Amino acid sequence: MLGRDHYNLLAGRPELTVPETLPIVCNMSQIPICAIPGDRWKVQDHPLDHEGRTYHFNSAIDRWVFQQNPARYRDHMTLVDRFLAGHIQPMNLMGALQYMNLAPGEIGDDAHQYAWVERYRNHPYQRKAA
């Protein structure tokens, strides 16, 4: 199921290979909360309510680390927390990218202008016989 980017690129729809919203970021690791996609889909939030604030974690381990010393971690705001608090303006994806000093053209574009797409179109992957 995952990896439809090549379909979208073959169809001339590169805009569908980039997001229009933010990923949810783990309050411990600061990386997007992600896991197994496709037919074995197993993505899960590991939330924790602490002193009136709900934190989101990528795993029970991340949550456990937070719980060992909440005072150390509780006040930190992830990119998404800052976005929702109105610290990032304009309050849209472009505003968030600019907040991270990522200008248009620096992300989301293939370094080789998707030259591989035409090679793939002409020679799609074929599983070799064992």
Partner 1 sequence: MALYPLISNFQHDFVLQLLAVDTENTMDEVAAAAAHHSVGRRVAPQPDKVIRVRRQGDTEFFPRDKKLGESGIKPMECVEFIFADH
Chain residues binding partner 1 by CB under 8 A are 1-5, 8, 16-17, 19-24, 32-39, 41, 43-45, 47, 54, 56, 80, 83-84
User: Which of 89, 96, 78, 90 has the alpha carbon at shortest distance from 19?
Assistant: 96
Cα 104 → chain centroid: 17
Residue bearing tokens 């030259």: 115
Neighbours of 80 (CB within 10 A): 20
Cβ proximity to partner 1: between 16 and 102 the closer is: 16
Nearer to partner 1 by Cβ, of 17 and 98: the residue is 17
Taking the complex as a whole, how short is the minimal distance between the CB of residue 32 and partner 1, in angstroms? 5
Q: What angle do CA 57, 60, 64 make, to 5 degrees?
A: 90
Q: What is the 3-state secondary structure (H, E, C) of 57-72?
A: ECCHHHHHHHHHCHHH
Give least dist CB 130 to partner 1, A.
28
Q: How far is the CB of 95 from partner 1 (least distance, A)?
A: 13
Report the residue number, 6 or 73, with the smaller CB distance to partner 1. Answer: 6
Rank residues 34 and 60 by Cβ distance to partner 1 and give the closer one. 34
